[in-house]
Amino acid sequence: MSRRALEHIASEIGADVVETSDELGDASVTVRPSALHRTLEFCRDDPRLRCDLLLDVIGVDYPDRAERFDVIYSMRSLSTGERVRVKTRVADGEPVSTASDLWNSANWAEREVYDLYGVPFSDHPDLRRILTHHEFKGHALRKDYPIEKGQMCYVPEKLLTDEEIRFGPQLYGRTMDRSDAVVEEEEISSDYLTVNLGPSHPATHGALRIEALLDGETIIHSKSEIGYLHRCFEKESEDHTWQQIIPYTDRLNYVSALTNNVGYVLAVEKMMAIEVPERCQTIRVLVAELGRIMDHLVCVGTNLVDIGALTNFWYFFNAREHLYTVVERMCGERLTTSYTRIGGLYRDLYEGFEDELRHSLGKVEEAIGEVTALVQRNRIFMDRAVGIGAISQEDAINWGWTGPCLRATGVDYDVRKASPYGGYETYDFDIPVGENGDVYDRVLCRIEEMYQSIGIVNQAMDRLKPGPIFSEDRRVTMPPKDEVYNSIEGMMNHFKLVFEGIQVPAGEGYGFSEGANGELGFFIVSDGSGNPYRIKVRPPCFPIFSSFTELVKGHMVSDAIATLGGLNIIAGELDR
Amino acid sequence: MGVTLDEPQNYITTKLRQAVNWGRKYSLWPMPFGTACCAIEFMGVVSSFTDISRFGAELVRFSPRQSDLLIVAGTISYKQAPILKLVYEQMAEPKWVIAMGVCASSGGFYNNYGTVQGIDTLIPTDMYVAGCPPTPENLLHALVQLQEQIDREGIEAVKEKRRVPSSA
C-alpha cells in the first residue's frame, strides 16, 4: 500500500525526491524544498492518493546538520486510507513555501513550527508566534534552547490590530444599516465593539482567548489565541526517559487521561514492535473507553451549562464521580491516572473491579438517559443548538477535523474502525454520525458514543481472563526477581532498565489512536538512546480550534459560546 | 415593642474584629482561575458529591470584582502571568488566594521555559494545596484552614499585609 504511494510520488516528482522510506509501514518521502509545494499538491489532488486530511506539520531539529531542520507534513486520505509523510530539509533561516493555500489546517500547524523552531514559511498569511508569548525571544524547541530558560511576559498581546477595529466593516464586507450616509470615522469605530473573551473566562473551560469585533451582538470578525497553557510537553519529553513521559500524557487531555496513556504506549510499542498479552490488550481497550465516557460526560455537561442548562451538568458530574471511584481504586488517582506502561500496565485490576464498574456504568446510563430526556427534544436547547456552528464535510476535512466533531458532519472516520489497533476489530460497536455538523449533532453524537463505549466496556469485561499483563519482551519488562538475584543476565537486564531506561531503536514513526476528541497521534523520532529525540503530539483539538473564528463568523456571541462548548477544546492538549 | 436592650438575652457582646471575621470567613465568594486539570477537579468540588457550599463558599463568581477568594486552579504559564496579575489586582480588598495543586504552588513537574514556578512569584498567596490535582477533600481542607486564618486576621491591617512581591 504505502510502497505504491511512494512510487506514484517518485514518478511524478522525479529528480526532486531525495529519498523514500516505508519504515514501520508509514510512507515517507523526502523532497527538495523547491518541490515541496508541488509534492503536497500532488498528494492532495492525485486520485490514487487523495490525501485530503492534513494531520500535522512537524519540525525536527538536527543542529549538527547543514540543512538543520526537518519539516514534515503528515497526511491521511479519508477515501483510500493512505498515510503519507512528506519531508523536506532546510537550513536555518531558509524559507519553506506554505501549504496553507492547500489546507486550512496548515495555517496554525506551520505557525507552530515557526514559533518553536524559527522556520519561516513564505507566503504564509499570518506568520506569528502561537504557543509562546509575543515577548518571547528565541525558538524553544531548538536543541540549543535550554529547557529551564523561562521568559516573563509583561503585557498581554493585543489580537485585533487598530486597523482591523477601525476599518473592520470595510475589511470584512459588512455595511452599516443606517439612514444617513455620511459617517464620521470616529463614529465607525464606536459602532463596532471589540469584546475580549478569555483567557480566564468560564465558558472557555480552559485557557483560550478570543477577541471579537461585534456589530450589535453579531460577530463580524474575530481572532483567537492559544498557548496560555503551553506546558512544553514536547521539550519535557526530550528531557525524560520513555516511561517517565507517561505522567505527562495524562495532562494532555486531562479529561480523558486514560485514553492518552493508551495512545502513547501504543505509539512507542509500534516503534519497538512489542506485542502485549491478551489481558493487557483487553484492559487497555476497557480503560480507553472509560476515558472516552468520562470525557464526553464533561464535554456535554459543560456545553449544556454554557447554554443555561445547569441541571444536566450535575447529573453528568455525579455519574463521573461514580467512575472516579472505580478509577481511583484502579490506579490511585482520580484524574491523572498514568495507568499504562510501555509493554504493559501499571498494575492489574483490583478484586471486585467488575462489580463496581458495572454498578458505576449503570449510574452513567441512568444519567445519560435523564439528560437525553431533558435535552433531546427540548425546544430551548434546539433553538440554541440546531444550525449553530455548522460546518460542511469538505470544510471540516480541510480544517483537519477528526473525532466526534467530524463525525457530526456525517463523515464516519474513526481510527478504531479505519485502522483498528489493540483488538478493536473484534468488538461490536457502531460509529454514530450526524448530518449537519452543528452543535446539536455534536451533542447527540457524543451521547450516542457514550452508549457505544459502554457496550465496548461490557464486552471487554466479559472477555477478561486471568493472565499476565506484561509483555515477555525483556527490552521493556523487568525480569522476575529470582532471575535478578540468581543470574548475571537477569541482574544486568534489571540494572540497564532501571538506570538507562527503555531503548527505543533509532528511527521515526507515527503511532495513532482514537482519542476522545479525534485522532491522537504521536510522531516519534528516536536516536536509539534512553530519551526520545523528538515527540510531536498530534492533538485533535488543535486543528479544530483553528477553525473557530471561521465557524462563528456572522453568529451571535452567545452562539459562539455554544459552539465553543460543543467543540470540546481541552487546553492541555491544545497547547501541550 | 421590638427588641430592647434591657434583657440580657436580647444582645450579645463581641469584638468588632470577631464579628467581621465571622462574616468574612463563612461567606467566601471564590473566583476560580481555572487553567488546567485542577479546574476539572474544581468542578468536582462544587458539584454535589463534595459540595463546597457546606463551607459557605459555593457562590462561584467569574468576575474578580465580585469575589474575595481567588482559587488558582492549574498551571500558570508565562503567557498567562500578566492576566493572573491583572485579575488579582481587580479584586477588591479583603482578598485571599489559594494555590490549588502543585503547578500553581511551585510549577510542579513542569520545570521548563513556559511555566511560572509558583504563583507566589506573581501575587501574594495564602494557601498552597498539594496534589496533582488535589482531591476535593484536599481543597476543602485548605478552605477550612483559610477560614481559620481569616479568623485570626485583623480587619484594619488587611491592606498592609498584601504587598506584591518585588520580583514581579
Amino acid type, A313: F
Asked if B79's CB is within 8 angstroms of A318's CB, the reply is: no
> What pLDDT was estimated at residue A161?
75
The pLDDT of residue B141 is above 90: yes
Contacts B80 to A, Cβ<8 Å: 199, 207, 228-229
Give A479-510 pLDDT, tens digit per residue.
Answer: 888 888 999 988 998 998 888 888 888 888 88
Where in the sequence of chain A do the CATH 1.10.645.10 domains occur?
A: 233-377+453-538
Alpha-carbon distance B168 to nearest alpha carbon in chain A (angstroms): 9
Asked if A229's CB is within 8 angstroms of B36's CB, the reply is: yes
Asked if B41's CB is within 8 angstroms of A334's CB, the reply is: yes
Average pLDDT over residues A423-431: 90
The pLDDT of residue A191 is above 90: no
- Which ipTM was obtained for this model? 0.85
Q: Is A45 on the interface with B (CB under 8 A)?
A: no
Q: Which SS3 state, helix, strand or coil, does residue A90 take? A: strand
> What pLDDT was estimated at residue B162?
53
Q: How far apart are CA A285 and CA A296, in angstroms?
A: 17
Give A299-330 pLDDT, tens digit per residue.
Answer: 898 888 888 888 888 888 888 899 988 999 98
Alpha-carbon distance A570 to nearest alpha carbon in chain B (angstroms): 8
> What pLDDT was estimated at residue B1?
56
Residue B20, C-alpha cell as written in the block: 467581621
> What pLDDT was estimated at residue B108?
86
How far the first Cα of chain A sits from its last, in Å, is 33
**Cβ contacts from A onto B, under 8 A:** 136
The pLDDT of residue B124 is above 70: yes
Give B69-78 pLDDT, tens digit per residue.
Answer: 999 998 999 9
- What confidence category does residue B157 fall into, taking pLDDT thresholds of 50, 70 and 90? low
Give A397-408 pLDDT, tens digit per residue.
Answer: 999 899 899 999
Residue A357, C-alpha cell as written in the block: 464498574
Q: Is B155 on the interface with A (CB under 8 A)?
A: no
Contacts A251 to B, Cβ<8 Å: 36-37
CATH number of the structural domain A2-122 = 3.30.460.80
Q: Which CATH class is domain A233-377+453-538?
A: mainly alpha
Q: How far apart are CA A266 and CA A284, in angstroms?
A: 10
Place of cell 496534589: B131
> What pLDDT was estimated at residue A169?
57
Percent of chain A with pLDDT over 90: 20
Assess contact for A573 and A256: CB atoms under 8 A: no
Q: Set out the domains of chain B in order of their start, with CATH numbers.
A: 29-155 (3.40.50.12280)
Asked if B87's CB is within 8 angstroms of A321's CB, the reply is: no
- Could you give the dihedral angle defined by the CA atoms of residues A519, A520, A523 and A529, in that order, rounded to the nearest 10 degrees? -150
Of B75, B82, B116, the CB nearest to A156: B82
> What pLDDT was estimated at residue A459?
92
The pLDDT of residue A189 is above 60: no
- What confidence category does residue A221 fall into, taking pLDDT thresholds of 50, 70 and 90? confident
> What pLDDT was estimated at residue A166?
67
Alpha-carbon distance B5 to nearest alpha carbon in chain A (angstroms): 47
Of A200, A232, A320, the CB nearest to B83: A200
- What confidence category does residue A201 fall into, taking pLDDT thresholds of 50, 70 and 90? confident
Q: Is A488 on the interface with B (CB under 8 A)?
A: no
Phi, psi of A555 (to 5 degrees): -90, 170
Where in the sequence of chain A do the CATH 3.30.460.80 domains occur?
A: 2-122
Q: Which of residues 35-54 of B touch A (CB under 8 A)?
A: 35-37, 39-41, 43-44, 47-49
Q: Is A576 on the interface with B (CB under 8 A)?
A: no
Give A64-121 pLDDT, tens digit per residue.
Answer: 888 889 899 998 888 888 888 899 999 888 888 888 888 888 999 999 999 999 899 8
CA-nearest residue to B46 within chain A is A314
Q: How far apart are CA A238 and CA A261, in angstroms?
A: 18
- What integer best gives the mean pLDDT of chain B? 84
Residue A576, C-alpha cell as written in the block: 501541550
- What confidence category does residue B5 fall into, taking pLDDT thresholds of 50, 70 and 90? confident
Average pLDDT over residues B111-140: 90
Q: How far apart are CA A435 and CA A409, in angstroms?
A: 5
